């Protein structure tokens, strides 16, 4: 199957390893991956911050950049949710975009991607993956098939980490209070690694963990699926 990768501006700029892992996993399950170079940003931040006119211009540009793709796959549940849920109202159409996990599980029917990741891992279900895109248990099913992984329970897993885009800076104190509780639960879980399907949330959680020298890493779920070491 031919898929176009939408990397997202955040991953492209700061988390290229997630992009390389996404390509590797998609190719391993038999997809032919293209990367339409004109893509930049889906407009989520502008839309959610109160700039719908700018968001609509970015969305129209994004649709042009990805035009013709029969399936678009992205390693970001919140960007996928923006394009699926909000583009129809914003620009009148939604592209055939899928978050990586739901694409693998629901579209391709694949749960075992041949990964091996010998570490203890806590999975944080991000808000958009859970409540907007309703990924359900697709990420957990994929993680469940990873060899030698030690999946640990995360208390109050489905509560928000406190990122929320510009919320993290506009309401930095409340955001930090939420992050503190999330980190507390992560440390209590005993995991070496915190994973999720969105690097924006992981940038927030990971930024807090590094500030504390907590010794817990954040790794995007695509990178766990790509790992074979």
Site residues (vs other proteins, CB under 8 A): 7, 9, 11-17, 19-20, 23, 35, 37-38, 40-41, 45-52, 54, 57-58, 61, 127-128, 130-132, 159-160, 162-180, 203-204, 206-208, 210-211
**Are 181 and 109 spatial neighbours (Cβ–Cβ below 8 Å)?**
no
Q: Which is nearer to other proteins, 51 or 150 (CB)?
A: 51
Q: Which is nearer to other proteins, 67 or 177 (CB)?
A: 177
Give, as one character, the DSSP assignment of residue 66.
T
d(CA 51, CA 48): 7
- Shortest Å distance, C-beta 110 to other proteins: 22
Q: Which is nearer to other proteins, 98 or 128 (CB)?
A: 128
Q: Which is nearer to other proteins, 135 or 146 (CB)?
A: 135
Q: Which is nearer to other proteins, 36 or 150 (CB)?
A: 36
d(CA 149, CA 165): 31
- Shortest Å distance, C-beta 90 to other proteins: 11
- Shortest Å distance, C-beta 111 to other proteins: 26
Ordered DSSP codes for 92-108:
S----EEEHHHIIIIIS
CA atoms within 13 A on the CB side of 57: 4
d(CA 141, CA 136): 10
- Shortest Å distance, C-beta 13 to other proteins: 5
Helix axes 199-211, 172-189, angle to 10 degrees: 80
**Are 147 and 117 spatial neighbours (Cβ–Cβ below 8 Å)?**
yes
Q: Which is nearer to other proteins, 35 or 92 (CB)?
A: 35
Residue 155's closest CA among 134, 131, 181? Answer: 181
Q: Which is nearer to other proteins, 100 or 149 (CB)?
A: 100
d(CA 60, CA 100): 23
**Are 201 and 125 spatial neighbours (Cβ–Cβ below 8 Å)?**
no
**Are 143 and 123 spatial neighbours (Cβ–Cβ below 8 Å)?**
yes
């Amino acid at each position: 199957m031919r898929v176009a990768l939408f990397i997202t501006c955040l991953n492209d700029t700061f988390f290229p390893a997630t992009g390389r892992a996404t390509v590797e996993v998609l190719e391993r399950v038999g997809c032919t991956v293209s990367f339409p170079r004109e893509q930049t940003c889906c407009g989520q931040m502008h839309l959610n911050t109160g700039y719908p006119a700018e968001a609509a211009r970015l969305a129209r540009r994004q649709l042009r950049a990805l035009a013709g793709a029969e399936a678009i796959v992205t390693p970001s549940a919140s960007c996928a949710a923006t394009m699926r849920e909000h583009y129809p109202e914003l620009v009148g159409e939604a592209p055939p975009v899928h978050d990586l996990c739901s694409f693998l599980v629901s579209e391709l029917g694949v749960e075992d991607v041949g990964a091996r990741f010998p570490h203890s891992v806590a999975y944080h279900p991000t808000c958009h993956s859970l409540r907007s895109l309703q990924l359900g248990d697709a990420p957990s099913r994929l993680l469940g098939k990873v060899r030698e992984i030690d999946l640990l329970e995360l208390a109050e897993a489905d509560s928000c980490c406190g990122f929320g885009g510009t919320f993290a800076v506009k309401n930095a104190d409340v955001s930090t209070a939420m992050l503190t509780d999330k980190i507390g639960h992560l440390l209590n879980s005993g995991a070496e690694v915190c994973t999720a399907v969105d690097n924006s949330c992981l940038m927030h959680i990971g930024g807090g963990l590094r500030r504390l020298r907590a010794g817990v890493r954040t790794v995007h779920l695509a990178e766990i699926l790509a790992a074979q070491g």
